Each structure stands twice: as C-alpha cells, then as structure tokens.
Amino acid sequence: MKNARGKARRLSIKSNRKVRVPKRPATYHHGALREALLRAAERILERDGIQGLTRRAAAREAGVSHTAQKNHFGDITGLVSDLAAVGFQRIAATMQAALREKDTPGGRLEAVGRGYVRFARAHPGLFRLMYRSERLDMSRPALRDAVAASGRVLYSAVGAVRKENLGGTLTLAQAAHVASAWSLVHGFATLLLDGPLNRLMSQLPPGTDPDELLGTMLDASALKYVEWNR
C-alpha cells in the first residue's frame, strides 16, 4: 500500500513539472530572413573583421539553420556582395544627405567628401569590404546598381564644379577630376582607418580633429577645381 502511495506521489510530482521545450531557431518571413542575415553578417564584419564572416557564422548569428540562406545568397561571395551593396546604398545616402541647397558648387563637393569619410568612420568594416573587389561579384544586379548610385552623387558634385553634366563617356580631363576627388577622400579615409594618418595628426596642435585636416584638404581641392576651369 505504501509503495502504491509513493508511486502515485512521484507521478503527481512529475506531472507538475514543466516540460522543457528545446529552443527553436528564429523563424522569418522569406523577405525578412534575407534582411536578418545581412544584419547578422554586418555585425560579424564590424566585430570580427572579414576573416570572421562565413555563411555558417552569419546563420548562427541570425539564429537560423545553415541551409536557410542558400536560396538568398548561394555562397559566401553572394552574401558579401549583397552586404557590400547595402554599404554602397548607405554611402550614397550619407553623401546625399550632406548636401544643402544653398551650397556653392565647391561647397557641394566638400560636403560629398565629408559624407564619404563620415560613412567610412562610422562603418569601417563595411567600408573596407566594399572595396575588396576580389571578394565581390560585380555581376549581381543589387551590387552593380548600388555602386552606380554612389558614383552618381560624386559625378554630380564634380560636374557642378565643372559646370558640366558628367555621365556616360568622359573626357580625360573629366575623368581626372572625378579620380582626383575620389582619391582624396578615399585615401584620407583609408589612412585614417588603418592608422598611418595618426603620425601626421600627432604633429598638429593638440586637440586638432581629423575633420579639420580633411576640411582644409577639401578647401584646397575645391580651389584647384576652380583654377582648372578658368
């Protein structure tokens, strides 16, 4: 009789225990999964660098199975290419947002340059990835279109200084002006992110911000464009 009561008590205790259900990976709507994977990939990129970004790592970060992303990106090249496309969309928006209607043509070019460097400083990992052409598939429409959109902002600013509409085939002089403006801000951003610019900054008065140096460089560049167009 005691054994029967003990058994009943144990069964009662077991029945009151909460059954632990294994945690399932997060589920997403088809479109939301792609965005979630891109956000996860960007977090890894900024945290661990390009060497830490793999398809498995992105899936794990997003809380989904490794196979869940195949339909969206195919392989790691597809993933990083679509992530780079996000970067080019953002840098275009950042440069565009820096423009003001009342700016002179030289002021517009300076604003675009500042926006370019501002993006690089805010998203260093993504910025570096965007220019790693050996890792990217430029045939992907999203990436190709985003690169073109970011280029149009720079071309428009240079064209305003030259009082020309830049697009399609360029003359050597037009290409030189675009390349000069791009090289200035891209080189500045790269030297700043990678550290060599710190040596130059240490020779300036204490408290001098890199933005002040960039502004002086852009002012000089704008004057140079004016001289070229006289």
Q: Is the pLDDT of residue 30 over 80?
A: no
> Which ranges of the chain does DSSP label H, i.e. alpha helix?
2-16, 30-48, 55-62, 70-73, 76-97, 105-122, 124-130, 141-162, 172-194, 197-201, 210-228
The answer to the question of residue 95 being in a domain is yes
Residue that finishes a domain, picked among 74, 108, 137: 74
Q: Higher pLDDT residue, 103 or 28?
A: 103
Residue that finishes a domain, picked among 74, 103, 138: 74
Range of the domain at 68: 23-74
Query: Are residue 101 and residue 41 in the same domain, yes or no?
Result: no
The answer to the question of residue 106 being in a domain is yes
Tokens 């390009």: give the residue. 50
Query: Are residue 125 and residue 65 in the same domain, yes or no?
Result: no
The answer to the question of residue 144 being in a domain is yes
pLDDT of residue 23: 44
**How would residue 6 be classed by pLDDT, with cut points 50, 70 and 90?**
low
Segment holding 49, helix H or strand E = none
Cα–Cα distance measured from residue 200 to residue 204, given in angstroms and rounded to the nearest whole number: 7
The answer to the question of residue 7 being in a domain is no
| Average model confidence (pLDDT) across the chain | 84
Query: Are residue 167 and residue 191 in the same domain, yes or no?
Result: yes
Specify the length of the chain in residues: 230
The answer to the question of residue 10 being in a domain is no
Query: Are residue 90 and residue 116 in the same domain, yes or no?
Result: yes
* Cα separation values, 208 from 162, 204, 221, Å: 32, 7, 20
**How would residue 25 be classed by pLDDT, with cut points 50, 70 and 90?**
very low
Cα–Cα distance measured from residue 102 to residue 71, given in angstroms and rounded to the nearest whole number: 47
Query: Are residue 30 and residue 67 in the same domain, yes or no?
Result: yes
Q: Is the pLDDT of residue 204 over 90?
A: yes
CATH number for the domain harbouring residue 55 = 1.10.10
Non-local (6+) Cβ contacts of 215 within 8 A are 110, 114
Tell me the residue type at 198: N
CATH number for the domain harbouring residue 87 = 1.10.357.10
The answer to the question of residue 190 being in a domain is yes
Residue that finishes a domain, picked among 33, 54, 74: 74
Q: Higher pLDDT residue, 24 or 164?
A: 164
Q: How many domains does the chain have?
A: 2
* Cα separation values, 42 from 75, 80, 208, Å: 16, 9, 31
Query: Are residue 53 and residue 150 in the same domain, yes or no?
Result: no
Instruction: Report the range of poorest mean pLDDT among 9-23, 33-47, 61-75, 185-199.
Output: 9-23
Q: Is 30 exposed, middle or buried (0-12, 13-18, 19+ CB in 10 A)?
A: exposed
The answer to the question of residue 63 being in a domain is yes
pTM over 0.85: no
Query: Are residue 198 and residue 97 in the same domain, yes or no?
Result: yes
In this structure, what is the dihedral angle of CA atoms 135, 141, 146, 148, given to the nearest 10 degrees? Answer: 100
The answer to the question of residue 91 being in a domain is yes
Q: Is the pLDDT of residue 175 over 60?
A: yes
Query: Are residue 97 and residue 202 in the same domain, yes or no?
Result: yes
